[in-house]
Amino acid sequence: MKHALFLYGGWDGHEPKQCVERFAPWLESQGFTVTLSNSLDTLLDLSLLKKLDLIVPVWTMGSISHEQSNNLLATVKAGTGIAGWHGGMGDAFRSDCGFQFMVGGQFVAHPGGIVPYTVHIVRPDDPITHNIPDFTLNSEQYYMHVDPSNSVLATTTFSGTHDDCDWIKGTVMPVVWKRRFGLGRVFYCSAGHVAKDFDSLELRTIVQRGLLWAANAL
């Protein structure tokens, strides 16, 4: 049986608890044992970390201690998967470059705030995005600094019409990617600002599959 840890907290605007409630019961329905924690001190419990197949950080901004971060990175490097979405993983622990190196990207802006945008599937052959068509969202369109070694599965294109950001018109930005960090699988999706965003079947399915892929269960 696979074991997943959802670690949630940080900025409440991203509805960390509500988002966890969209995915934790679903993972249990897939046969996972699920542990929920709203304390980063959980990362000090080495006996728990060794049992995990998947860590799902849902923790926008905030601070992480050196020991907590080292334990997390070492656990993923040793083979535990990590998966997440939006600011819960792409804008967590802004001062921790090691965490950002593992994730493969970092949020820097969302021009216009809540805007309509299209997610374009560029790897329809991948098991995470297989048979999912391009889709639209009305949410935060993340502009990110990204690692060129990421395996990009979906992108979005910026219009340049928001917040006088005309210089980014036509910029193609990764939305969904996967990568490796040591022996661990890393999945990230920049969409998913609040829990209702996952009413989108396409977005919800991508994240569900990403969780399974990171846990080596897809």
> pLDDT per residue over 133-161, tens digit each?
999 999 999 999 999 999 999 999 999 99
Going along the chain from its start, the domains and CATH numbers come out as 3-214 (3.40.50.880)
The model's pLDDT over 108-121, given as tens digits with 9 standing for 90+, comes to 999 999 999 999 99
pLDDT reported for residue 42? 98
In single-letter form, the type of residue at position 60 comes to T
From 204, 210, 190, select the one nearest 85 (Cα to Cα): 190
Name the helix (H) or strand (E) containing 107: strand 105-109
| pLDDT single digits (tens) 59-96 | 999 999 999 999 999 999 999 999 999 999 999 999 99
The long-range contacts involving 22-31, CB below 8 angstroms and separated by at least 24 positions, are 22/195, 22/198, 22/204, 23/56, 23/198, 23/207, 23/208, 23/211, 26/208, 27/54, 27/211, 30/2, 30/212, 30/217, 31/1, 31/2
Question: How far, in Å, CA of 122 to CA of 155, rounded?
Answer: 7
Which residues are bridge partners to 145 per DSSP? 106
| Average pLDDT for the chain | 98
Give the H/E segment covering residue 21: helix 16-29
Contact indicator for 139, 110 with CB cutoff of 8 Å:
no
CA distance 113 to 34: 33
DSSP state, residue 52: -
d(CA 147, CA 104) in angstroms, rounded, equals 5
pLDDT at 186: 99
